[in-house]
Amino acid sequence: MSAIAENVRRLLAELPPGVRLMAAAKSRTPAEVQEAVEAGITLIGENYVQEAVLAGQVIGRRAEWHFIGHLQRNKVRAAVEIFDMIETVDSLRLGREIDKRCAELGKVMPVLLEVNSGREPQKFGVLAQDVAGLARQLAGLTGLRLEGLMTMGHLAGDPEDSRPDFRETRRLFEELRGLSIPSLNLTTLSMGMTDSYKVAIQEGANLVRLGTGIFGPRP
């Protein structure tokens, strides 16, 4: 059994019921992604549209595809055609572009609102105080469906450094649920990566995004 297959099977056995495992496939080859799928991965996250196109030629629809990178508006049409969910909506402008492209294709795109829970200037995402307002605006767009929140957490240091970020995002998630915004059905809280997923799960994540934990270090 390959190292990728061993990692996938161990993680799937380890995760609590109700928590989904995403293979974050940034910079990985289609062959590596295929190994993960054959080992049991049913959800792939891609940061770049072109990498998803190449991997998709090998994997096809054997897995669900989520976009987890920063989405530029000129890539939206391609992303809407390829992906099953876009996890990184962080502005009304981007939401309107997704809505427009979905209308052209006759589809509705599930999305997550990306939260900059650590208020880090180098990161994308909506600040906590703007989440509810943007959620209300996105709820008025018929070409997309807001299904939850996503956050990165701190990328370096002790995993515990991310706990306040995850806790804040969970608080916002529950707050949005309590607002009873029409057309919102919030089900997904996407938090935690290889170094921090255990903390994220403790704080309420039901989707975790692992790259090196599945594929090993990047070359």
3-state SS assignment for residue 87: strand
Q: What's the pLDDT score for residue 96?
A: 98
Residue 9, CA atoms < 13 Å, CB-side half-sphere: 9
Q: What's the pLDDT score for residue 20?
A: 98
* Whole-angstrom distance, CA of residue 47 vs CA of residue 117: 20
Q: What's the pLDDT score for residue 156?
A: 66
* Whole-angstrom distance, CA of residue 67 vs CA of residue 87: 6
CA distances from 123 to 71, 135, 153 (A): 13, 19, 10
| pLDDT tens track for 53-86 | 999 999 999 999 999 999 999 999 999 999 999 9
Domains with residue ranges and CATH for the chain: 3-215 (3.20.20.10)
Which of 210, 183, 165 is CA-nearest to residue 39? 210
The fraction of the chain above a pLDDT of 90, given in percent, is 88
- What pTM value is reported for the model? 0.96
pLDDT band at 214 (very low <50, low <70, confident <90, very high): very high
* Whole-angstrom distance, CA of residue 33 vs CA of residue 56: 10
* Whole-angstrom distance, CA of residue 153 vs CA of residue 119: 10
Mean pLDDT score, 120-148? 92
* Whole-angstrom distance, CA of residue 190 vs CA of residue 86: 11
pLDDT band at 122 (very low <50, low <70, confident <90, very high): confident
Residue 184, CA atoms < 13 Å, CB-side half-sphere: 25
pLDDT at 3 over 70: yes
| pLDDT tens track for 9-49 | 999 999 999 999 999 999 999 999 999 999 999 999 999 99
Report whether 183 contacts 139 (CB < 8 A).
yes
* Whole-angstrom distance, CA of residue 51 vs CA of residue 76: 15
Q: What's the pLDDT score for residue 120?
A: 73
Mean predicted lDDT score pLDDT of the chain? 94
Query: Letter for the amino acid at 54?
Result: L
Tokens of 196: 């921090």
The fraction of the chain above a pLDDT of 70, given in percent, is 99
Mean pLDDT score, 160-173? 95
